[in-house]
Chain A
Amino acid sequence: MQVHRFEKVWLGAAILLIVGFIATIAYGSVGVGVGMVDDSGGQISAQAVQNGNTGTQFDDPGVVKTGDDQYTVYVVARQFQFVPGTGDTPIRVPAGANVTFRVTSADVTHGFSVVETNINTMVIPGQVSEVSARFNEPGTYGLVCHEYCGAAHHTMGGSVEVVPPEEYDMQQENIDQSAADAQAQEEADQ
């Protein structure tokens, strides 16, 4: 079979392009460190989440400081709100810190998507979705449920407020030692 030399050129270029795409993805995950959502969050009883007797920080969801520049945000998604997140209880985290969101559902499958970021995961009852991120710039991000969860799905949303570290008011968050212990205990259990 005879192949015209022009065709050889653009066949080669197409193959190069594909190699380039794959190399980019590899660079993103290895070089930059873009993570994937996996099952590392562990499992939890959705019924216990609903009744508030899980024995974990999900009974009193909110932001917990777990170390220097390490924060864990416990969020319970339920029809039709994020706790915290919806209404006048935005999730407040400091800029520049490593923030881990631990999100679970009390009833049905929800979504947890921080708008204009790549933080985006399903929230499945019985499962804790765990994603970490670092917000470098202060600002306010929208938070939406992007999995249809019922009649008022379209109203389910909230906000994430990223504040400068020096303004981050520690008093507002429950950073007492017991919460940190509970977190350590939970991690030890897994």
Chain B
Amino acid sequence: MALSRRQFVGAAAGTAALAATGTATAQEEPDYGGWFDDVSNFDGTADKRGQDTVTITVGAQGNNGAFAFDPPAVMVSPGTEVVWEWNGEGGGHNVVSDGDGPLDSGSPVSEAGTTYSHTFDSEGMFKYVCVPHKSLGMKGAVVVRPGSGGSGDGGSGGQQQQGPPENPDYGGWFDSVSNYDGTTVDRTDADSVEISVGAQGNNGAFAFDPPAVRVTPGTEVTWSWTGEGGGHNVVSDGDGPLDSGSPVSEAGTTYSHTFEEMGVYKYVCTPHKSLGMKGAVVVGGPLGGSGGGNGGGSGQGGSDIELSGPQWLLSGSVLLAFFSPLLFAVAMRRRQNGRPPQTGEGGEPQRATGPEPVEEAAETEPAVELGHDEYDPKGTAALVAFYFVLIGLLWVFMYFVEFLGRVSIIG
């Protein structure tokens, strides 16, 4: 996820309002210098100042797999013990400082429940990576800075007017969700909102409808099972308030939750998560207006196939190639038709269409008769000899120079 500076500032300002997690304000957002450019689950710094211990999940969903730290960026007070806890997904991970630094959990381990902790006493920014998955974007940072943190205190009152921005950055959450059309359905006017579970989507009845919905704080959201697609449940992604229990399939089942805190609540159906059965509830943010406009525009995104310029060129030339024999035949026919009728030797008019009859050449007597062995194909022999020499040279070069000349397996 490459962000321009303006987008980054915008995203930071937007996420600053996530009162649910107590995010630092835009002014306090540390400058990571592009460190999080390729980290898909980064959406701002989680302000955990004032807590004695802070836990970071290792192997959280992100970066196209279980290759993320969650939260990737965290701000703590000096003296805080930060605990990395492995969830056992995504193979072997470790926590190692980028460059010189205090963090080193050793070689990668994959076992769930593994923990590694470090107490940060001095202020500063501590960037770290999972060595095997660094290139995938498995990177994190701990910012140690004095302060009280913004979790739920009066300081966040000014931000509560905003809530999440108009188009929340879901960080790739909806990449694999087929029925998400890029819009967040605005239900900020409703007191209760219903989401159907087992709606059509993701190659079957494996979708939430609507997948993304915006509500005002205090709204009761009810998930209602359609009874299709087998057993579903509604469970928050990572830490979160939603948990409808084990999957059930009965039509008419409902589960509801009242969202009081602003924020973006991502959730999944556990059995069908890999199919793209994912959703999100955005609590707080813009009122009305935008939602209607987006809703109207979303209708056309469905079945129309839109082709860009290069795609037109490509499909056009493929079609042209496909029909070229036909076009050729038509052209030949037209040429035949255009020709004035000719008369043959017998004076009969030739057929206007079809190929002209070919006159057979008169057989002439050979000048010299040669026996089978009397003719020597010297040209062919020279060509064959040349090929043999070429093959022989390539053989010597490939086997004796290229192959045996290199370090070889000797056992």
Contact = CB atoms under 8 A, between A and B. Distances in A.
B30 interface: no
Contact of B380 (A6, A20, A21, A52): A6
Interface in A41-83: 50-52, 78-81, 83
B365 interface: no
A5 B378 CA distance: 12
A155 B67 CA distance: 15
Interface stretch (A111-119, A163-171, A176-184): A111-119
Contacts of A10: 381, 384-385, 388
B410 interface: yes
Contacts of B111: 51
Interface string B369-393: 0001100110011001100100110
B409 A118 contact: yes
Given A2-B372, A51-B111, A133 B391 contact: no
A132 B410 contact: yes
A107 interface: yes
Contacts of B135: 80, 152, 155
A87 B131 contact: yes
B403 interface: yes
Interface in A72-127: 78-81, 83, 86-87, 98, 100, 106-107, 114, 116-119
Contacts of A83: 107-108
A47 B24 CA distance: 42
A117 B109 contact: no
B407 A133 contact: yes
A133 B136 contact: no
Nearest to B376: A6
Contacts of A19: none
A51 B395 CA distance: 48
Size bracket, chain A contacts: 35 or more
A118 B408 CA distance: 5
Nearest to B387: A10
Interface string A115-149: 01111000000000001111110000000000000
A150 B408 CA distance: 28
A188 interface: no
A35 B64 contact: no
Given A4-B373, A51-B109, A152 B136 contact: yes
A133 B109 CA distance: 31
A30 interface: no
Size bracket, chain B contacts: 35 or more
A21 B410 contact: no
Given A5-B373, A28-B403, A33 B410 contact: yes
Contacts of A28: 399, 403-404
Nearest to A6: B381
B133 interface: yes
Which of B109, B110, B388, B391 has the most chain A CB atoms inside 10 A of its CB?
B110
Given A20-B395, A152-B133, A152-B136, A134 B65 contact: no
B377 A50 contact: no
B404 A32 contact: yes
Contacts of B407: 114, 117-119, 133-136
Nearest to B137: A152
Contacts of B372: 2, 4
B241 interface: no
Which of B108, B373, B380, B409 has the most chain A CB atoms inside 10 A of its CB?
B409
B388 A78 contact: no
B132 interface: yes
A24 interface: yes
Given A10-B381, A28-B399, A28-B404, A78 B409 contact: no
A50 B92 CA distance: 7
Nearest to A118: B408
Contacts of B92: 50, 78-79, 106-107
Nearest to B396: A24
B102 interface: no
A5 B381 CA distance: 11
B335 interface: no
B354 interface: no
Contacts of A52: 107, 109
B107 A79 contact: no
B398 to A, nearest CB: 10
Contacts of A13: 388
6 contacts: A4-B373, A20-B395, A36-B409, A50-B92, A86-B132, A119-B409
Interface of B: 64-65, 67, 91-92, 107-111, 131-133, 135-136, 372-373, 376-377, 380-381, 384-385, 388, 391-392, 395, 399, 403-404, 406-411
Given A6-B380, A119-B409, A133-B407, 18 more contacts: A4-B373, A10-B381, A10-B384, A24-B395, A51-B111, A80-B132, A80-B135, A86-B132, A87-B131, A106-B92, A117-B408, A118-B406, A119-B407, A132-B410, A134-B407, A150-B65, A151-B67, A151-B136
Top 5 closest A-B pairs, CB basis?
A: A117-B407, A155-B135, A132-B411, A35-B409, A118-B408
